[in-house]
Amino acid sequence: MSENNDNWKIKVLIVSTVIGAVSGLAAGYLLNKTAEQKQSGAPRIQTTDALKLTVGVIGLVRGIASLGDPN
């Protein structure tokens, strides 16, 4: 019985890792593509933009974490 309980946990971790890696790769690709289109060289990210992105990611993670809450 314990094997079944642990099995779904491993599957969730693997799937979420793959989704995170694919979405991170896509974000990097889009960032590079935008920098190439503007022909500005390496992308320059402002501190305020990084903070906005961080707050958004934290909100997304909190939202995903709340999906497991039965209430």
| Per-residue pLDDT reduced to its tens digit, 8-59 | 889 999 999 999 999 999 999 999 998 888 887 888 889 999 999 999 999 9
Does the CA dihedral 8-60-19-46 come out positive or negative? negative
CA distance 30 to 40: 15
Among 20, 22, 60, 57, residue whose Cα is nearest residue 30? 22
Entry pTM: 0.72
